[in-house]
């Protein structure tokens, strides 16, 4: 009679061999569910990594199956094993994640470099105007900055964008890129000059003028309007040693929002 301990050992051994042999098989649709189950229960993978592995293996198998089906052929196993493909995808996932995490850090540094603190406009006529932006720089970089490229735009409460422009700020203007700097940007025959002439309020209501005085009241309504919708962002930093950091759009569903 077989002992209970021996029976348990044999069952465990058979299960282990079964799992191992499935992973070592050439990739095929029939064994995918079992491999998917093993990936889901593997604690070495993060949830995002599991999703990345499963989605890509599924895509590999489906692409191969569809292509052969359209040719009227049977779908054989692929030339690569599940194990080898998982190893490839794991390395691929780590490489891409690390690069995007680094980009996320750089984006934060770019965002923190500049803050808009005040704004004024000047209009000669509907075709000529100037925008004065007072910004506060907070330079935490250990390298000297040569110039930065910033984007400034106006977006209202309804997400309507009136303009979106870029300008270069050099070390001749911003010096060490630390502290307050006033930027003056002239515009002619464009969306910004039109916006300044048509949209920016320059006269307050009578009750506010009576309360604050005409000059202060007029300045208040203009500033409140500008500061409500004006956005300024650093898109590129070029250092004096010729290295640079550029803002990078990050849109990857496998990057956890807590990754940093």
Segment 12-45, tens digit of pLDDT: 444 444 445 788 999 888 899 999 999 999 999 9
- Spans of the chain below 70 pLDDT: 1-20, 64-77, 260
Q: Any idea which residue has 């064994």 for tokens?
A: 31
For the record, the structure tokens of 44 come out as 């070495």
Domain span at 67:
4-80
Q: Are residues 119 and 72 in the same domain?
A: no
Asked if 158 contacts 238 with a C-beta cutoff of 8 angstroms, the reply is no
Q: What is the pLDDT of residue 74?
A: 59
Burial of 14 (0-12, 13-18, 19+ CB in 10 A): exposed
Q: What is the pLDDT of residue 17?
A: 45
How many structural domains compose the chain? 2
Q: Are residues 155 and 218 in the same domain?
A: yes
In a domain, 93, yes or no: no
Q: Are residues 118 and 11 in the same domain?
A: no
Q: What is the pLDDT of residue 64?
A: 65
In a domain, 198, yes or no: yes
Report the mean per-residue pLDDT for the chain. 88
Q: Are residues 134 and 241 in the same domain?
A: yes
In a domain, 118, yes or no: yes
Q: Are residues 242 and 128 in the same domain?
A: yes
In a domain, 136, yes or no: yes
Q: Are residues 127 and 232 in the same domain?
A: yes
Global confidence as pTM? 0.75
């Amino acid at each position: 009679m077989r002992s209970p301990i021996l029976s348990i050992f044999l069952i465990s051994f058979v299960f282990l061999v079964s799992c191992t042999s499935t992973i070592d098989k050439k990739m095929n649709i029939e064994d995918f569910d079992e491999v998917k189950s093993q990936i889901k229960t593997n604690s070495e993978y993060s949830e995002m990594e599991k999703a990345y592995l499963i989605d890509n293996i599924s895509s590999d198998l489906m692409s191969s199956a569809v292509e052969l089906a359209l040719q009227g052929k049977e779908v054989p196993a692929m030339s690569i094993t599940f194990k080898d493909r998982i190893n490839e995808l794991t390395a691929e996932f780590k490489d891409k994640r690390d690069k995007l995490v680094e980009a996320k850090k750089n984006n934060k540094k770019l965002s923190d470099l500049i803050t808009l603190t005040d704004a004024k406009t000047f209009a000669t006529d509907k075709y000529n105007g100037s925008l004065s932006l007072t910004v506060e720089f907070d330079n935490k970089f250990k390298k000297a900055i040569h110039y930065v490229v910033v984007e400034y735009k106006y977006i209202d409460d309804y997400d309507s964008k009136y303009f979106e422009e870029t300008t270069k700020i050099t070390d001749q203007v911003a010096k060490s890129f630390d502290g307050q700097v006033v930027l003056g940007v002239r515009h002619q025959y464009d969306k910004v000059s039109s916006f300044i002439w048509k949209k920016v309020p320059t006269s307050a209501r009578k009750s506010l003028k009576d309360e604050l005085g005409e000059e202060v009241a007029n300045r208040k309504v203009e500033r409140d309007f500008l500061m409500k919708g004006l956005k300024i962002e650093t898109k590129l930093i070029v250092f004096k040693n010729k290295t640079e950091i550029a803002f990078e759009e990050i849109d990857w569903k496998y990057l956890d929002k807590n990754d940093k």
